[in-house]
Amino acid sequence: MTATLDFDAFCAHVAEGLRLEPGALTPDGRLVEDVGLDSFDLVELMAIVEELGVRLPDDVAVGLDTMGDVYREYRERVAPGASIAPTTAG
């Protein structure tokens, strides 16, 4: 069974891939306006999500405005029956 990352772990993985500070990604933070992602960053974001096993169709990807939106789509499409892996401190 594949474990689904919780929101904090998901954001940490994305932030690392985009070379952002982990705290830069919040559920309500708008990807372009608040986080400052450009079109190349958005393509990279979709590649990072795909590395986690979820391919977001183009028609879905263009409608994603916040990190919360991205995470919701990831959660909905990850392997059915996957459990959520809690964030580990340390």
> Residue 46 CB: number of other CB atoms within 10 A?
19
Q: Identify each DSSP E strand in the chain by its residue range.
A: 3-5, 83-85
Rounded to the nearest 10 degrees, the angle between the axes of helix 7-18 and helix 67-77 is 110
* CATH number assigned to the domain covering 3-79: 1.10.1200.10
Pull the structure tokens for residue 12.
């940490």
Q: Looking up tokens 């169709």, which residue turns up? A: 57
Domain ranges of the chain: 3-79
pLDDT of residue 1: 38
Rounded Cα distance between 32 and 67, Å, is 10
For 27-65, how does the pLDDT look when each residue is reduced to its tens digit (9 = 90+)? Answer: 999 999 999 999 999 999 999 999 999 999 999 999 999
Whole-structure pTM value: 0.84
